[in-house]
Amino acid sequence: MAKASAKTTSAEKKTTSTKTTRFLGWQNTPIQQATFGRTTKGGSRNTKFSVKHSTGSVQSVEPKWYVLDASEIAIGRLASTIATLLSGKHRSTYTPGAGSGDFVAVINADKAFFTSDKADKKIYYWHTHYMGGLKSESARHALERRPDEVIWEAVQGMLPKNKLSRYQLAHLKIYKGKDHPHAAAQKPVALSLKKNLLKNLI
């Protein structure tokens, strides 16, 4: 009888332990809050972005617009500056994962350039998903054919590979000429990359 009672007590302990450690779902976890309103494992889909950080919700941060000239500096330095503005690292309220960056419009993309001999040494590869479909293209030829995509891919490589970076890359607008359609409505601030004005932004 003593052994039977001991077995029942151990079984009761197992049931109580499983009740206390039972998985309750993904709806109330921080993972769900960091997916821009889209749930990961069930729950309703909301359109509001509800990530919280030290300065409040993301809706309270008003994004700004900046214009960068691609003909002033090389593509590498241009892409690093754009990545900083898109991720919001120049702000004092920067919080990783909060998505509090700004909008960036790049002009004169057709005048973008690489330093030294990178235009000849750098090779872009892609595959057509057919047998023997590996294609390649030099950076010099890519700048002549699709300069906006070259800048976009350089910025993409400097951002994290997650949903947040895809949300931030949607704030990047690249134009081949010197004209852009954001002058009247958004009233962007022109930044001179030669003077390194990024450190003075707030």
Q: Which amino acid is at 34?
A: A
Q: What is the rounded distance in angstroms from the CA atom of residue 74 to the CA atom of residue 65?
A: 21
Domain ranges of the chain: 1-50, 62-192
Q: Is the pLDDT of residue 31 over 50?
A: no
Q: Report pLDDT digits (tens) over 100-144.
A: 789 999 999 999 999 999 999 999 999 999 999 999 999 999 999
Paired sense of beta strands 56-57 and 52-53, if any = antiparallel
Domain 62-192 matching CATH 3.40.50.720: the answer reads no
Q: Report pLDDT digits (tens) over 159-182.
A: 999 988 999 999 999 999 999 999
For the segment 60-77, the average pLDDT, to the nearest whole number, is: 90
What are the C-alpha distances in Å from 137 to residues 95, 122, 145, 156, 157?
A: 38, 9, 10, 19, 18
Residues 6+ apart with CB under 8 A from 136: 123, 124, 125
